Amino acid sequence: MSKGLPRHIVITGASAGLGQALALAYAAPGVVLGLVGRDAARLKACASACQARGAQVETVLTDVRDAATMQAALERFDDTFPIDLLIANAGVASTLASAKDWEELERTAAIVDTNFYGAMHAVLPVVARMRPRRHGQIALVSSIAALRGMAISPAYCASKAALKAYGDSVRPLLARDGVRLSIVLPGFVKTAMSDVFPGDKPFLWSADKAARHIQRKLAACRSEIAFPNLLAFGMLLLTLLPATLADAILGKLSYLPREER
């Protein structure tokens, strides 16, 4: 490995999906991975696969919503292996099954607590260590859904938009201290989460393809990593249209919960 590549990497949500694919992409001799997940069996399997590729692996079995456990675990890891790269990837989805479905407070809070506050529980303790060292990189895994809200997943879109807004806000502040921040905006990635999404999934990427793309763009220090390009362009275009027209287009694309018949 060259000197500039990250050697001490923490990935949240590493027990499945994109997080697992990212762990495998970074696994190599000389790399120490800190893998955070809440499914013991899947986290163990991911760790074993990364070890088979030559990486040293430390695992943390916890829910990212547990702020105290996250901070303690990250500080322990950083004490021994100063973190070069944190990928705050853990996330959950929620979609409305029909026009009669609704995200009440408890359901909305669970999504926001995981997708936004769960990311903060990883980012803030690590940033507190990176800033004095004037070294490190943070990747916030948001979503293309952050670019424009969709009626089929209000809480998910809101939580991912909050993550993007936070990243955009602190990126120049962290840059002053030598810490780079990238916001990752994936489109549809073939995972268990996308499998249950009821709408159309254009330009679907495999998790491995998405992980390799993210890895390349993070190495290039891209501030924003949105993919696939056509889908990202389409979502940005929607933000330039009148809201009623954009709503109608999304409805035609099956991103509006259907009336039950």
Catalytic residue among 26, 117, 156, 255: 156
Give, in degrees to the nearest 5, the angle at Cα 25 between 24 and 30. Answer: 85
Q: How far is CA 7 from the centre of its chain?
A: 20
Helix 118-133 to helix 154-176 angle, to the nearest 10 degrees?
A: 10
User: Is the CB of residue 73 less than 8 Å from the CB of residue 60?
Assistant: yes
* Residue 156 annotated to the active site: yes
Residues with Cβ within 8 Å of 86's Cβ and at least 6 positions away in sequence, in order, are: 9, 10, 11, 122, 123, 126, 136, 137, 138, 139
Which residue is associated with the tokens 């009440």? 104
What tokens does 190 get? 């073939």
SS3 79: helix
DSSP letters for 148-173: S--TT-HHHHHHHHHHHHHHHHHHHH
Task: For residue 111, count CB atoms less than 10 angstroms from its CB and return exposed for 0-12, middle for 13-18, buried for 19 or more.
Answer: buried
Q: Which amino acid is at 94?
A: S
What is the residue type of 78?
Answer: D
**What residues are annotated to the active site?**
156
